[in-house]
Amino acid sequence: MRYLSDFRDAAACAALAERIRRLAHGAGEMQFMEFCGGHTHAIARHGLRSLLPENVRLVSGPGCPVCVSSQGDVDRAVALAGRDGVTVVTFGDMMQVPGSEGSLQEARALGADVRVVYSPADALRLAVDCPGRQVVFLGVGFETTAPAVAATVLQAQRQGITNYSVLSLHKLTPPAMRAVLDAGEVRLDGVIGPGHVSTVIGAGAWRFLPEEHGLGCAVAGFEPADLLLAVAELVRMVVEGRPEVANCYRRSVSDGGNSRALAVMEQAFQVVDADWRGLGVVPASGLHFRPELADLDAGARLALPKLESREPAGCRCGEVLRGVLEPSQCPLFGSACTPESPVGPCMVSTEGACSAHYLLREAG
């Protein structure tokens, strides 16, 4: 498929890398944050850092939904999995994330009914097929996943399915980006905007970056040439001193986003404060069900108690997620903590910064 291969084309990548080098030459140090975990993974996988000049650095931000789920969120999921008559359904990445009392995978080994799916639609189908069980989907994800989950919930309501519910741990990305900037711990010169989140919310959602923070934003796709084009745009904005939002992923992203997906999300969810690993409670950054959908809210329906949560000892995920610490600077990186036996969530998901850096280390 040429829409894939052409965006991986070596000549295009070389030309873009050369353009970045020329633009950045003599322009001082620049540091850009790739917000999205998919980008973090792609940058490591294609070795893109090695194509950049020394004065252009990329740091990873809090853009992996599995990694930013708080320890309390993981613990609630594990507690639910232990209930009689409950089937917990989740994306594969959540299985290995260590909670205070073990992971979902360990809960399953001890007899809990935990299933892995690719789509919330599969979870709803499972509920229809198992009428005797309460099927709870773990709603983990950003604006890309939330509309899909919202669609299944509205469908369950329409069809009168009473044994399906969702534990909504969904999070919104622009408030998290604001929280990182407001914390002021990491000096940034621009942001690589998430490609698929922006497909839903629109490139225009990032306009607060130039307007309020004086930072350029380049929305990027996931192929090497896409990412290099975005970096070239960010370097150009720094050199010209004109921050703006550049949409470098026009084949999927419009300025206003996917209005249908936004409407479905709006119909099911209301915006609430949410607890992020590494960032703490970020105002107006989470999604809970609207009161009229309370029956489909697993948290309300299954009355989860408040749990005491402990972060894994020695894990520095919080700092990694805020872009303050490089994964390799964590004392556990690559020794006590590896993808085979992860200590923290950033080593679990392939979109996690620690896992991406580990991959690169193995390749190099």
Q: Judged by CB under 6 A, which of 126, 166, 169, 330 binds ligand SF4?
A: 330
Cα dist from 153 to 38, 45, 194, 300, whole Å: 26, 35, 26, 15
Chain-centroid distance, C-alpha 139: 13
Q: To the nearest whole angstrom, how small is the minimum distance from the Cβ of residue 358 to ligand SF4?
A: 8
- State the residue for tokens 């309370």: 294
Contact residue for ligand SF4 among 124, 203, 315, 356 (CB under 6 A): 315
The residue within the footprint of other proteins, chosen from 103, 105, 145, 355 (CB under 8 A), is 145
Q: Which residue is nearest to ligand SF4 (CB)?
A: 344
- Residue 346 binds which one of other proteins, ligand SF4, none, with CB within 5 to 8 A depending on kind? ligand SF4
The full DSSP string for 189-208 is: SEEEE-HHHHHHH-GGGGTH
User: By 3-state DSSP, what share of the chain in percent is helix, strand and coil, each rounded to 5?
Assistant: 45, 20, 35
| Among the listed residues 49, 242, 250, 361, the single contact to other proteins using CB under 8 A | 250
Which of other proteins, ligand SF4, none sits in contact with 347, Cβ below 5 to 8 A by type? ligand SF4
Nearest distance in Å: CB 74, ligand SF4: 13
Site size with other proteins, rule: CB under 8 A: 47
Q: Is 359 in the site for other proteins (CB under 8 A)?
A: no
- Report, in Å, the least distance between residue 310 CB and other proteins: 27
Q: Is there a contact between 137 and 167 (Cβ–Cβ < 8 Å)?
A: yes
- How far apart (Å, rounded) are the C-alpha atoms in residues 353 and 347? 7
Q: How far is the CB of 38 from other proteins (least distance, A)?
A: 6
Tell whether residue 70 is a contact of other proteins (CB under 8 A).
Answer: no
Query: Which region among 5-13, 106-114, 304-312, 322-330 touches other proteins (by CB under 8 A)?
Result: 5-13
264: nearest Cα among 346, 128, 147: 147
Instruction: Kindly state the tokens that stand for 364.
Output: 């190099």
Give the pairing of strands 113-116 and 86-90.
parallel
Q: Does 279 sit near ligand SF4 (CB under 6 A)? A: no
